[in-house]
A and B are shown apart, each in its own frame.
Chain A
Amino acid sequence: MEGSISNSSSNEDFAVGCMLSIKTTLGDEFDGQVITFDRPSNILVLQEGSKPGPRRNIRFLKTNYIKEFSFLGQSEDPLDIKKCYIDLQSLQDREELALRQAEADAERIGVGVTTEAQGIFDALSKTLPVRWDKTSIVVMNEVRVSSPYLPENVIGGTPAANDRVKKVLELERRRLQTRP
């Protein structure tokens, strides 16, 4: 889905610091400030949000996918060159950390389960220790909740635990329904 390429040829439009309002071919709309534009690769880097500070929301957008844009204004360079340094080591550390985190997160995601099931899992995990076992949710290592995760699907465990899980499940389902 190539968008119009006409824009990419006019570099002047993408001067650094420009505030643009962009609509992409993917259906995104946003405002941002140009940090840089790289012509050879046609990549436009924009900064979203106006909060000044070391952290920004960044978008790398290929100009091919710009459906339309409008110029909002001109502002100064959002990037202060002098302060731009990269510590590769810290980047690697950060990556490792993120990976560890992500792996932990992955444990919580059921494979081959519907998003609804995942939502229930997440809700249960707020108050109970849960884990996935294929497509069943195992609560407190005792009680199993299998598809379709209705209160009657709660099996096992001591009566007390079973009741508790049933109750929590009901409440969570109710809550999930009311929420949009």
Chain B
Amino acid sequence: MNTQQTAQLKSSANGFARRRSERESGMRLENKHQSGKLNQNRSMNAKSPSRDRLVYLSTCLIGHPVEVRLKNGSIYSGTCHTTNVEQEFAIILKMARMTKDASYRGSKQEYVMKAPSKTLIIPGKEVAEVIAKDVPVTVAGQSNELQNERHEDILIDSSISHSRHVELDRELSPWVPDEDDPQCPGLENIFDGPWNRGWDQFETNKMLFGVKSTFDEELYTTRLEKGPRMRELEREATRIAREIEGEDTEDLHLAEERGINLGEDFDGDEEVRFSSVIRGRGLDDSGYDEDEDILLDKRNTETFGDVPASSGAKTDHLHRGTSNDSAGALLTSSVDEPQCSQSSNGSEFFQSNTYDHCRQQADDLPCKSSTSDCNGRSLYGNPEILRVAQGHDSINASIETKTVAVDGKLSKSNESQSAENSQTAGFDRGGLLADAPSVTSSVKEMPPTEPEVVYVKADGESSGVSACRQPGTFASGSDHAGATSASSHPAVSPSSSLIGSSSSENSTLNPHAKEFKFNPNAKSFTPSHSSPVRPPSPVSDGSYYFTPNVTTLPQMHGMPVGIGMGPSYSGHQHVLFNPQVAPLRSPQPYFHPSGPQYGQQMNLGHPRQVLYMPGYQPVSSSQHL
């Protein structure tokens, strides 16, 4: 080590600016080099470990900031370039500054700064002490240091807080939690029984500051109409809520929300526990669990565009849980923006995946069912439906422009509780859903924004819509105004991307849904023989028939329930419907509008009333029910 040091000294000494003792140092170095060996022998003849240590430690200093105190009291700070223990610890500093001048007698404030010296050679005789902080003495320390240094290019918090530039007003110390439970340092208490706190902020404010509040809760939320059935509905609602909230979930974040403990040895840092988006759970709809509340809002909005559906909002005051659940309804993966005519907050885009409980309201376009209300209210006394409801626009909207048989549907649905909306072919989205009994509530509400809703009959719709509203599930009274407005849209507008409208919270779209990719070449299904792809018909390719007595289709996942609509519609409509199939958990909720899939669905033994119309022709309105 000595020789190495010597070599370093020598090389560094060359060509550098020197202080007055330069020559001295130079000489010393020369001597050193020549007599290095000699010195070495002399001082290390016993291989004294102490000397070794000294050299080792001083070598550790290289590149490290050190402070050198001279015997006259001055202090220099700089980066240690090299040291020479042989010569009484001479030291060479780079970028050195005099941080304390012993000879200066003036006040600190007036001390004049000097430029740092690029290289400063301090003879050993002058050195009294060398101080270095945080010197990595062992291997572990060294490697860390380099990494840290590299990372300094990225300004991390700790480097900022330790900045040498800024004078610290106070000593920063890392935060430590109180002695309370580290997980919940007292925060829990704040939220315990918020309703029972007995503290009225408005009163307090008024008292303290004389501020009169004009806060009216009803401005921000929908008024609950307390009718005779209120209690019953409330009970129902609470029950459902509890059920949903108590569900087991695999989703980390949901579990956390519900207070399910993960277990102490959960492997994951805070980000995983509280923040990150969990992906990779299977990007297709298979295995979608209705228990998952993950609201697809995000995805939905992306896929379908944004619809400020107020309807979605309505449900909020109802069980969130339930709404979430309905989200499960999801949208079929095939939602395609341009084609989608909106889907309101997810409501009923029924992805129909395994949505067992969901009763999707078969939504026919026109309907804006506000299922949302259903949740709580279940006028029809059918709790399940509520779930679905989220009041989102039913997928109906989805139907692509072409479809539509809207109006008939509307009225129909209204009347019949089961909205059996067969999804007409147009349901690409897979919407499906008829759900008769559950429908009760469902009147899907169409998000106001739906610009495109493709409704064939705009007018009819309006009426239909209002009709829909009738059943009055709307506790929320929310605006179905939207619906009305929506209905005014001309029918069949080729798809503005509506669908997306679902407001984020209320979306029932399936986040896992695969994006719908229109397949112009998709063969239409023919049950018995292959049928040629039909050319797109102007309108009602998507029109659908439904028979009044078709019972509710329990949720279908992924399959639009369309009754009677033969798959024989042009390829661009991806109507997939499943005439009443039992709720099934098909492994492929997303299905391509090709034949085989359909066939697969057919296996579910359920009484079906399928009306195939291979040669389906656009049906005149009169035929619509």
Using a CB–CB cutoff of 8 Å, the interface residues on chain A facing chain B are: 1, 16, 24-28, 35-43, 45, 53-62, 64-65, 79-80, 83-88, 90-99, 101-103, 105-106, 108-119, 122-123, 125-126, 175, 179
Contacts and interface: CB of A to CB of B under 8 A. Distances in A.
A39 B69 CA distance: 20
Contacts of B89: 41, 43, 60, 62
Nearest to B57: A45
Nearest to A176: B167
23 contacts: A27-B73, A38-B54, A39-B50, A41-B89, A43-B85, A56-B135, A57-B133, A60-B57, A62-B128, A65-B71, A85-B138, A91-B62, A94-B62, A98-B79, A98-B95, A103-B95, A105-B164, A105-B165, A110-B113, A111-B115, A114-B110, A117-B113, A175-B169
Contacts of A94: 62-64, 145-146, 149
Contacts of A88: 4
- Judged by DSSP, the binding face of A is mixed
A42 B127 CA distance: 12
Contacts of B246: none
A169 B110 CA distance: 19
B145 A57 contact: no
B465 to A, nearest CB: 56
A1 B71 contact: yes
Given A1-B71, A43-B54, A84-B56, A79 B137 contact: yes
B376 to A, nearest CB: 53
Interface in B32-62: 43, 48-51, 53-54, 56-62
Interface of B: 4, 43, 48-51, 53-54, 56-65, 69, 71-73, 78-79, 81, 85-86, 88-89, 94-95, 97, 108-116, 127-146, 149, 152, 164-167, 169
A98 B113 contact: no
Q: Which 9 A-B pairs have the closest CB atoms?
A: A54-B141, A95-B63, A94-B63, A102-B95, A36-B53, A83-B138, A60-B130, A54-B140, A111-B115
Contacts of A84: 56, 137-139
Contacts of A91: 59-60, 62-63
A59 B50 contact: no
A62 B90 CA distance: 12
Contact of B166 (A28, A60, A95, A126): A126
Contact of A62 (B129, B152, B164): B129
Contacts of B85: 38, 41, 43
B525 to A, nearest CB: 68
Name the residue among B48, B113, B114, B166 with the largest chain A CB count within 10 angstroms. B113
Contacts of A106: 95, 115-116
